[in-house]
Amino acid sequence: MRLLRFLLLLIAFGFAVSVSAQSVPVVWIIGEITQAKADSVSSLVSQIRKTGPRDIYVGIESEGGNIRAALDIAACLAALQPDITVHTRSTDKAAGAAAVILASGSKGYRTAGPRTRIMIQHPEESDNASLTAEQLAAADAEMVSLLTRATGHSEDDIRSNIEGCDSWFLPDAAAVFGLIDRVK
């Protein structure tokens, strides 16, 4: 009964949770990235981890949102690795904070559909109104560090790609850049 209430709560926050025929957990993060979603993902992943899966699939369909929340989700997914392979996937859009989550999957298991649009950017104040200027700067630095590890590019290269404008990638370009591993 508690699990059913938990799943209903996730659906209310814009999550879709399913288990495939092979009992591989799938979590979809849909819509704006908020701290409430990050807290729910952390709780869900904690529950899933107890079942001992070898793989977890995380689908991202989002125009972004709160960067601190996205970094919390990325940290939660990083804590699973290398024991659990984290497959991240987007089939439509992963922009801003959502692109950070997409890039935080296990190397070799980050995919996007052929029509997916992926965008990286500096965190915007409008999406992060609850953060002070210092917190926003710290989140920006953490995001650049995460993208540096995920892509293999230098911090300067990441910063030059997000400085002053949004950097949009088609899936093939995102794979070359290192945000994902393949288009599928």
The verdict on pTM exceeding 0.85 is: yes
Residue 163 has a pLDDT of 83
The domain that holds 173 is classified in CATH as 3.90.226.10
- Divide the 184 residues of the chain into consecutive groups of 10 and give the mean pLDDT of each group: 46 48 79 94 88 91 95 95 94 96 97 97 77 88 96 95 87 97 96
Residue 24 has a pLDDT of 78
Residue 48 has a pLDDT of 86
Residue 112 has a pLDDT of 98
Residue 170 has a pLDDT of 96
As for how many domains the chain has, the answer is 1
Long-range contacts of 149-156 (CB under 8 A, 24+ apart): 150/103, 150/104, 150/107, 150/178, 150/179, 151/103, 151/177, 151/178, 151/179, 152/178, 153/177, 153/178
Residue 8 has a pLDDT of 42
Residue 22 has a pLDDT of 52
The whole domain housing 7 covers 2-125+132-183
Scored b (16 or more CB within 10 A) or e, 116-153 reads bbbbbbbbeeebbeebeeeebeebbebbbebbbebbeb
Residue 122 has a pLDDT of 85
